[in-house]
Structure formats: structure tokens, C-alpha cells
Chains A and B, each alone.
Chain A
Amino acid sequence: MAKTEKILYSLTKIDKGRRTVVPTVVMLILTILYLVAVLSVPLHMPQKLIWLTAYPIFLSELCGIGYLKIFVRSLWILPILIFIGIFNPFIDTAPAFTIGNVTVNRGWVSLFSILLRGIIAFQSVLILVSTSGIIETFNSLRKIGCPAVLVTQLQLTYRYIAVIIEESLTIKRACAARGFGKRSYPLKLWSRLIGQLLVKSTHRATKIHLAMLARGFNGVLPTGNAVYWTSTSWLWLFGGIVFIAILRFTDFTSLLLHLTGNFNR
């Protein structure tokens, strides 16, 4: 199967997500709380972040995705994070701590902090999307009070990706069918194809919009599935909040040192 087609198929997978024990809306709220918890950890305290990794590990296993899969996917964000934090070690040269006779400066600590923070934050979002599906996630955003117009914009932008991929697929096929096995085309043709892709996608998007209007679209996508909050949702929400709060506010590091009797820095 062609690569473009594979992307389409994986999009449908993301669309639907998979049924899990944790209700979607709860998952969304917990993810937001978790993001707040992660982002509120000061830059010079990466040890706190290490404990917070327990959340994506635990949740991905609970939902049956497996942490390894989430971890591998989350590495995608690494280049961006490195780009953000790479200069820290050279700017912030004040010493943080020493191991043996190597002094580590604060810049390295904050770089590590940025990488870890970014990765686990991204992991939590990945878990949300792969369990609830993009569509449900959007619907839940509506349910917790995000303005409908905003969410509809997000949804349509997301659907538009599929439209562009489909159009590019048909152009690709049409080229292949009449290309007599030719694999590369001159740059000039490429630029025209891409222009054509935009024109065709826009045209189709316009047509789709007309068809939506014809079926009573009034600017807001209907959410459907009525049941969003059940009695067990409260349990999941409560449990999740407690879990995140414990991870965030307990000083596990000193607790551990204390327990092992080595509390003498």
C-alpha cells in the first residue's frame, strides 16, 4: 500500500480511538490537570518530574496501549524540545551540583527538565488521543465548556487534512496511471501539481461545505452520543485527581532518602 494511503488509514484509527475503562471526558479533564501539574514544576527541580512519569506509564498500561508504544511515538517531539532548550547549558553556567569531581551547571539541569517535561506532557496527550479518538476528544472539549465555534474550527481543520490527503492520492494515482512508469518529474511539474492540489482541495472543501449546508449545518458540528457523564465518571475523576496530586506534591525523593536513612546531604 502506498504511503499516502497508509496515512489515511492511520487517520481513521486516530479518529475512532479505542474503548477504554476511563470515560473520555474524565480522560480529557485529567489530561489537562496533568499538563498543569507538569508545567508547574520549576525548571530546576527535574527530580519531581521523574515521579510524574508514573502517570503516563500507569495510564497507558491501564488502557491497554502499552507504555513502550507511547514512549516510542513521543520521541517525535524530541527535536522540537532540543531546539527549545539547547542553549540553556551555555547561558546558565552557574553550578548546580557535583558528582565526584564533575560539576554540572544549572543549564544542563534545565535542559533535562525541558526534555523530560515535554516528553511526558506529549505522552499524556498521545494517550488521550489514542484512547478517546480525535473526534471524541473534540466532543468532550465541547462538553466541558469550550466554545462550540472554536471546537468546530478545530474539527474542520482536522477533517481538511483528510481531504487534502485524499486529493493528493487521486493526483498521485492519475499521474501514475498516465506516467508510463516514470518515477520522477521535473520540479516545474511538481510546483504545478502542488498548486493544483490546493485548488482541488479548496474546490472540494467548498462543495463539501455546500452539502453540509444542504443538510442543515448551522456553523456548529453536532456532537451526537448523548451519554458523557455516568456515576463511575466521578470515581475515575476523583481517583485520577488524587493520583496526580500525590505525584505532584509528595516529595518522594527526600522521602526515599529519609526511609533509607541517608538523609545527610
Chain B
Amino acid sequence: MSHHFIRFTGVHYSYPDGTEALKGVSFTATHGERVAILGLNGSGKSTLLLQTNGLLLPTTGEVNVGDVPVTKKTASLVRQAVGMVFQDPDDMLFMPTVYDDVAFGPRNMNLPEVEVERRVTAALKAVGLEEVSKKAAFQLSGGQRRSVAIASVLSMKPDILVLDEPSANLDLSARDNLIKLLDTFHHTILLATHDLEMAKQLCPRAILLNQGRIIADDSTEKVIETFFSVCLRKEQ
């Protein structure tokens, strides 16, 4: 996949219980572009992100990553390109030690163990957590778990990075580190977040979701203004 872009075309998605979480979402994020996904709780951000690597497949509509349409068949190919940080780090961490968790992706890529070790060390260093590599995930603080979850995706060196509220639970310095770290990532980023400052600092462009529909797609500054008016309308 030479072109690291993501394209959603008329994507609808309903959960098995009938909840319509996405109601016709279309947008394209081109190579190297960083797009913030904004929206109220339950507006469909996480659902949208899960479509990017085929963990959920559209009920109707199409998602393309590079030249590849995301289907059941192509999912494993797409997942090598798209690195995804889940909203809840506990959903990602399951190996006995932090080290093994960060090594999980690279080992699945069948890399030689030397390379795996190099990547794990680098990824843990990037999030400032080398010293906990021998611990189990449940022995970490909430913010540390978050950082490990991020490291476990960085170690895969993805072409496209998809993050679901990565700054939640992080302290100020960890958050700053994360922003700097993401700033050095020169490929495509999709970032769902409630951290508007972070969105402004990292992403020139933003998409605003409301009840499963895109209601604004513009420069982050402008979209945030629209977002405020949506919030106001909801409060009234």
C-alpha cells in the first residue's frame, strides 16, 4: 500500500442490538494528513475508528485504506498498515508483562527477536516507561496503562495511526510527551478526542460527528466553533 489514505464512502453501521451508530459517513484523509474526530459522547467516534481496520465492517457503504477496500478478506492486510489505540487500554493489554504486550504486534509480524526487542525498547522509551517493562498491566496506574497501550501500537510501526482518546488519564507532562511524539509521526493520523487543545495543536483539520453524521468538516479552529454551538444547543 503505497498511498496511506483512508476513504469512507457512505458508511452506515448498526450494532447487533439495532443501535444505528453511523448514518452515512463520507470523508477522505489523504497521505500524511492529521484529522481530529470530534463529537459528543455517543456520537459515533469509536465506532467510526473501528471501521478503519475492519474490526467492524460497514452495514452499507465502503471503507478504503490505500487502494484496498476493507473487507473480511483484506482485514489482516489492512491491519498491518493501520495501528489502532483503543479507548480503554484494559481492552488492549492482556499479556503477562508489559514487555510481552508491546512485543505482541511485532512478533505477530514474524520479525526476528532482536528486531522485536529493539522495537519494544524504543516504543517503551518513546512513552517514557522503560522501567516498568517487567510488570503486569494490572500493576500500573491508569495513565501508565494508557501509555503502554500506545507503545504496543508504536512498536508495529504502522503507516496510519488511529487513536481513540489517547490523552485521557495522562498527566500534563505525559500528555505533552504524547503530543510531541505524535508530532514526529509523519504518516496519516486519525485522532478521536475530547481534548480540544490537543486537537488544535496536532491536527489542522477536524471532522465533527453528531448522532452518527458528519455535521462539519473543516479547519480545526472552525469545527471547534461549530462544536461549541452544538454543545450549547444541547444544553438548552
Contact = CB atoms under 8 A, between A and B. Distances in A.
A225 B92 CA distance: 22
Contact of B97 (A16, A162, A217): A16
A19 interface: no
4 closest Cβ pairs, A-B complex: A222-B107, A216-B108, A207-B91, A215-B105
Given A159-B94, A215-B156, A216-B108, 7 more contacts: A208-B92, A214-B86, A215-B105, A215-B153, A222-B110, A225-B113, A226-B112
Contacts of A207: 86, 88, 91
B232 interface: no
B172 interface: no
B109 A216 contact: yes
A29 B139 CA distance: 33
Interface residues of B, number: 36
A217 B96 contact: no
Given A210-B91, A215-B104, A15 B76 contact: no
Contacts of A222: 103-104, 107-108, 110
27 contacts: A8-B136, A8-B138, A12-B139, A135-B96, A135-B100, A159-B96, A163-B94, A207-B88, A208-B91, A208-B94, A210-B91, A211-B86, A212-B104, A213-B79, A214-B53, A214-B79, A214-B82, A215-B105, A216-B79, A216-B80, A216-B156, A217-B108, A218-B76, A222-B107, A223-B107, A224-B107, A225-B113
Interface string A196-235: 0000000010011011111111100011111000000000
B168 interface: no
A162 B101 CA distance: 15
B90 interface: yes
A207 B152 CA distance: 16
Contact of A15 (B92, B97, B109, B112): B97
B117 to A, nearest CB: 9
Contact of A204 (B53, B90, B109): B90
* Chain A contact residues: helix, strand, loop or mixed: helix
Contacts of A216: 76, 79-80, 105, 108-109, 156
B138 A214 contact: no
Interface string A17-52: 000000000000000000000000000000000000
A47 B136 CA distance: 45
A174 to B, nearest CB: 15
B214 interface: no
A213 B153 contact: no
B96 A213 contact: no
B92 A218 contact: no
B57 interface: no
Contact of A224 (B75, B80, B105, B113): B113
Interface string B111-155: 011001000000000000000000010110000000000001100
Given A12-B96, A216-B76, A217-B108, A204 B55 contact: no
B190 interface: no
Contacts of B156: 215-216
Interface residues of A, number: 26
Contacts of A214: 53, 55, 79, 82-84, 86
B202 to A, nearest CB: 22
B55 A210 contact: yes
B94 A215 contact: no
Contacts of A215: 79, 104-105, 108, 152-153, 156
Nearest to A135: B96
A210 B55 CA distance: 6
Contacts of B108: 215-218, 222
Interface centre among A166, A214, A224 (most CB of B within 10 A): A214
B76 A226 contact: no
A223 to B, nearest CB: 8
Given A218-B76, A224-B103, A224-B107, A213 B55 contact: yes
Nearest to B152: A215
Given A15-B136, A166-B138, A204 B113 contact: no
A224 B113 CA distance: 7
A224 B101 CA distance: 11
Contacts of B103: 222, 224
Given A16-B97, A218-B76, A225-B113, A211 B92 contact: yes
Contacts of A213: 55, 75, 79
A223 B111 CA distance: 12
Given A217-B108, A222-B104, A224-B107, A212 B94 contact: yes
